[in-house]
Homo-oligomer: A and B are copies of this chain.
Amino acid sequence: MFVIVTYDVGEKRVHKVCKKLKQYLMWTQNSVFEGEITKGKLVKCLTELEKIMDKREDSIYVYEVQNPRNIVKRVYGQEKSFEEMFL
């Protein structure tokens, strides 16, 4: 399936959450990751994220689309690269 994951977590945990998501998905922009992933890997990724996040403060949103053909992505302006983000 195709997923979009957005996160809003405490500053202390941003790096860890970002690093974890990067193992499973592609970084797209700011605090947004996306990519194709199996249900099993998504569950594994979220289980690992739940260990990092502080559930009283942080939030992670996952949008799941079973068939990637059902979602279209359009980019307006610049398409940013992961490297650029962390320079």
Contact = CB atoms under 8 A, between A and B. Distances in A.
Q: How many protomers of this protein does the assembly include?
A: 2
B59 A29 contact: yes
Interface string A41-64: 000001001100111111111111
Interface residues of A, number: 38
A72 B62 CA distance: 8
A6 to B, nearest CB: 5
A8 interface: yes
Given A65-B71, A71-B71, A49 B76 contact: yes
A77 B64 contact: no
Interface of A: 4, 6-8, 28-32, 46, 49-50, 53-67, 70-80
